Amino acid sequence: MMLKDFAKKPKRFVAGGRSCAGCAAPIIFRTVLAATDHPVVAGNATGCMEVTSSIYPFTSWNIPWIHNAFENVSSTISGAESAYRALKKRGKIKETIKFVAFGGDGGTYDIGLQSLSGALERGHDFLYVCYDNGAYMNTGNQRSSATPFGASTTTEPAGKVLQGKSLFRKNLTEIVAAHNIPYVAQASVSNIMDLYSKAKRAFEIEGPKFMVVFSPCTTLWKFPPDQTIQIAKLAVESRFWPLYEIENGKYKINYKPSKEVPVEDFLKTQKRFAHLFSPENSHLIEKIQKHTDDEWEKLLKREG
């Protein structure tokens, strides 16, 4: 599909919401929801996009949509999908309906992980999409297990004792892949057609599917709102956020940067990492670069 054709697809997530200027998440939602021509039912965990897309009496959702608690969107969409299968078996529903759950990293990596794991293990036919902005942004930039090493947050701020988060982020993509589900993918808002293609493929596959999408937060990463896509692109080019997919256990890297881009080029675009550029913290940037290189080498080996 050409980009101009994608732009003509019906708008299932419409304009007029109250997300921050430069927010990547609405772009992600529109892209994913456009990736199937079948009717779609969506569940949405509490978080930035639930709040900004559904301020009563308005809504950005042009499809059936369920708001649920922070921790249980996977359980909610599992129940909806189970009811659909039962009604279809009885002949009360004829059409094919797709089910998708959306959650931020706080509601996915952390407090929603148990319900997500259960839904994946039970084999429900749905797509889970995590928009990953690396902290609990809806409540003020508290660290999550998706927060990168060295990032300053309100619960692990850079100061005299700590220099931002002291641990590396959880690799949720690999955790989900360990459930042996049919399809897992890592995508970025900086590559819309890759994101669209992965969502389209996911909707075509029967069973549980999972995507985690890099979603820069202009407000709390502290960068100008017109730089969202460029920063997301730097994350990919520096190999900080690789684009890859795992279908039936087989790894495929979708993009391999043609030149070496140091991870500090990505880090310096955001004030949450500004403290790392003090002379006494140069070793921390070296530590992040080594970790990034090591993870990339692991991925290359998995691809084989």
Q: Which residue blocks in the chain are alpha helix, DSSP H?
A: 3-7, 25-33, 48-53, 73-89, 113-122, 172-177, 192-204, 218-221, 228-237, 263-267, 282-303
Of residues 75, 17, 15, the one with CA closest to residue 45: 75
Who's near 7: CB < 8 A, 6+ residues apart?
none
Of residues 253, 250, 232, 230, the one with CA closest to residue 300: 253
Who's near 288: CB < 8 A, 6+ residues apart?
148, 149, 150, 263, 267, 276
C-alpha–C-alpha distance, residues 201 and 187, integer Å:
13
Say whether the peptide bond before residue 26 is cis (omega within 30 degrees of 0). Answer: no
Label the pairing between strands 127-132 and 98-104.
Answer: parallel
List the chain residues with pLDDT less than 50.
Answer: none
Of residues 170, 293, 184, 297, the one with CA closest to residue 247: 184
**C-alpha gyration radius of the chain:** 19
Q: How far is the CA of 34 from the CAs of 7, 10, 49, in angstroms?
A: 9, 7, 17
Instruction: Please write the tens of the pLDDT for every residue from 168-192.
Output: 999 999 999 999 999 999 999 999 9
C-alpha–C-alpha distance, residues 158 and 147, integer Å:
14
Who's near 299: CB < 8 A, 6+ residues apart?
242, 244, 251, 253
Amino acid identity, position 288 = I
Instruction: Please write the tens of the pLDDT for every residue from 278-298.
Output: 999 999 999 999 999 999 999
Backbone φ and ψ for 242, nearest 5 degrees, come out as -70, 150
Who's near 154: CB < 8 A, 6+ residues apart?
140, 141, 142
C-alpha–C-alpha distance, residues 249 and 180, integer Å:
7
pLDDT of residue 283: 97
pLDDT of residue 252: 98
pLDDT of residue 1: 60
Greatest distance between any 2 Cα atoms in the chain: 68
Domains of the chain and CATH, by start: 3-303 (3.40.50.970)
Residues 218, 230 contacting (CB under 8 angstroms): no
C-alpha–C-alpha distance, residues 161 and 127, integer Å:
41
C-alpha–C-alpha distance, residues 12 and 26, integer Å:
11
Sort 102 into a burial class: Cβ within 10 Å, 0-12 / 13-18 / 19+: buried
C-alpha–C-alpha distance, residues 26 and 40, integer Å:
17
